[in-house]
Amino acid sequence: MKKKLLSLFAFIFFTANGFSQLVANQPPDIFQCGFEIFDLTVQDPIILNGLDPVDFSVTYFNTEADALDNSSPIVNPTEYVPNGQQEPIFARLSSTSDETFDTTSFLIAYGIDWVPTLNDITECEEYILPTLQVGNYYTDSNGTGTMLSAGDAITTSQIIYIYNQDFGCESESNFLVTISNVFLNSTSTLLGCDTNEDGIAEFNLSSIIPAILQDDQTAEVSFHETMEDAQTGNAPIENLNTYTNTVPNEQIIYIRLQINNCSAIGELILITSSDCTGNSVTGTITYDIDANGCDDNDIAAAGVMVSYTNNDETYYTYTDASGNYVFYNTPDSEIVIEVSNSGNIDYITSPSNYTLTPSGEISGNDFCLEVTNAVNDVSVTLIPATLAIPGFQTTYILAYQNIGTFPSNGTISLEFDDTMMTYDSASPTMGQSSNTLSFTYSNLAPFETQYITINFTVMQPPVVNSDDILTFTTTINTTVDDNLDNNTYVLDQIVVNSFDPNDIRVHEGEYITEEQADDYLHYTIRFQNEGTANATNIRVDTDLDANLDWSTFEPIIGSHDYVTERNGDAVSFIFNGINLPYVDADEAGSHGYISYKIKPIETIALGDVMEATAGIYFDFNEAIITNTASTTVQAPASTTGFTANDFILYPNPASSNVTLRMLNLNGTAIVTVTDVLGKTVLTTQTSNDELNLDISSLNKGMYFITLQAEKQSITKKIVVK
């Protein structure tokens, strides 16, 4: 029995010893940023995990084998330098009283916490990113944006970031790349007046320098007779104001534009012309608002027609927003300049006229304008600056004008079809309530015109399709107005898909009624520079139709500063110094437009047609000829027997069906539906007083329903929604 108890004790003792092995606690890895010397002993308390360091020790090794054999320990663990950026370290926990031990391991690593710092740099045209020792290039901070590579070309000015992340260590620097893109038209032209037709003229080279500099105070411009001199900057032309061409009729010289250390070269074609005088006459018209003579307290008379007469030929222009006018290339013989009455205001000017013989530039031909009749009158017009295309933004210019003699305060509203387009923005801001925009104006001076730019987005198909009609109604209201006929303007714009960027359109469309023929027709000519260089000057020419009353012609608005000249039916809109970008350089900026209005002649008859075509000249290139905008006066409603009041249609607008009610109808009536282009889309006959017409097959838009009965014809408009 005793023997058995002794055996059991021995077994228990042995088992207890076997399960009391020494355990080294697992330490964490050590990561450091930018510092490669490690103190391994910081791991001692963790590995000991509460064991008494008197009874137990921790030793560090480079390999697991050394840790197990307790050989070749790391001599100075408080200042250990790893072999490389990362290295595994093996720790041995040993008992000082016996031979028990345990091993564990952890990783040490250090990350690079710096990146190269590059100085800001300015380069011409492009900058090539250099090779980096550490990090990568990015377009945004913290390693975001687009990652760039060494060798990439930076062609636009921007901040470039150098970012690196290494073993949790982040570092970043940045530098500014400024690209000096010196842009100059590859080819420009300048006209010189050849008065004796020998092919030689004087050219004012200085006149085009402002357009070249574009207000850049750091830029320098020089002109050279050879390309080699332009490239080196040698032998600049000195007499810029009176340079005489050395090659008759047409000569190429070279422009050098230099900004800092960057330069660009362009051709300047000098062209002589005998069809010019070089004379110009300018002046300013001021409205004597307080009737005590014109002084600094009075205001500019904008939009006033001025004329000069020479040998029974009369030429017209109009003052700009500052009251200034100019006539170019006036003859060398005597001319008489006068202010022409227009609109509903009667003028008295001081002086009554100027008689002079132009030679060179003659300025100071100013007029003080006094009115003899007091008028309160404001008007409003809506101009489509762009075409309406499904799914795209379209822009409109709302022009409101004080054509009276007193300052005006009031409100403007614009109704649009919110089932076909969404309102985006307006400048200045307009208020919105459902499908109506509103604006309050104050102190609109006599002769003053202000503009609101409004942007909409046309809805996509199938909601809006080509040939649909967008209808706008804009109204201006003021406390006192002597003429309410011009207080409301309705614009029906046809939606298009494809288009020519150089075109002319009449806002009232291809057909007008007799009643509409008593009012103005509004035209807009659009142009786009589709060339390969900026257009320095643009001229838009159009001839007014014989069925239009030329004396009622008035320019409304242009996309850029312009001068209008009219001689009889010939009208020119002159955009000198417009410097219109070409489409590949600036698509949005490559567009322009001009709008004007004019009334049909008083004797306009049914079926008469008014046509308009424009020629657009970009510098001295051949004219781009636009389409022809045609407007026809429609046949009238019957005035006897079966009358317009006897023809009723409803609902209007309609979607699937429309009811036609024909009162006092005797016999058979022919019903014809045509679109705005005059194309017949439906036709039927009826002898009943009422007809339910199925229009579900028609696209959205405006149509005309014509009823022919009793040798008479009545036409009414309907909108299909």
Domains and CATH numbers, the chain: 22-111 (2.60.40), 121-180 (no CATH), 187-273 (2.60.40), 282-303+319-371 (no CATH), 375-499 (2.60.40.1510), 500-634 (2.60.40.740), 644-720 (2.60.40.3080)
Mean pLDDT score, 50-68: 95
- Residue 277's pLDDT is 78
Averaged over 259-268, what is the pLDDT?
86
Average pLDDT over residues 462-482: 90
In eight-state DSSP terms, residue 577 is T
- The least confident of 76-80, 339-343, 623-627 is 339-343
Average pLDDT of every residue of the chain: 88
pLDDT in the model for residue 648: 80
Query: What is the CB neighbour count within 10 angstroms for residue 374?
Result: 10
Residue 141 confidence (pLDDT) above 80: yes
What amino acid occupies position 594? Answer: I
Tokens of 107: 């990783």
pLDDT exceeds cutoff 90 at 499: no
**Are 439 and 431 spatial neighbours (Cβ–Cβ below 8 Å)?**
yes
**Buried b / exposed e across 427-442, counting CB within 10 Å, b at 16+?**
eeebeeeeebbebebe
Residue 440 scores a pLDDT above 60: yes
pTM of this prediction? 0.58
- Please give the Cα distance from 86 to 107 (Å, whole number): 7
pLDDT at 262: 86
Which of 227-231, 435-439, 568-572, 659-663 has the weakest average pLDDT? 659-663
Q: For 324-340, what is the mean pLDDT?
A: 92
Per the CB < 8 A criterion, the answer to whether 624 and 616 are in contact is: yes
Q: What is the pLDDT of residue 710?
A: 59
> Residue 412 pLDDT more than 80?
yes
Give DSSP secondary structure letters for 158-217. EEEEEEEEETTEEEEEEEEEEEE-----SEEEEEEE-TTSSS--EE-GGGGHHHHHTT-T
Where does the pLDDT of residue 11 fall: very low under 50, low under 70, confident under 90, or very high at 90 and above? very low
Distance CA 491, CA 493 (A): 6
Query: Pick from 353, 311, 309: which is nearest to 327 by CA?
Result: 309
pLDDT at 9 over 60: no
- At 663-718, the pLDDT tens digits run 777 777 888 888 766 678 888 888 888 888 898 888 888 788 888 775 566 778 88
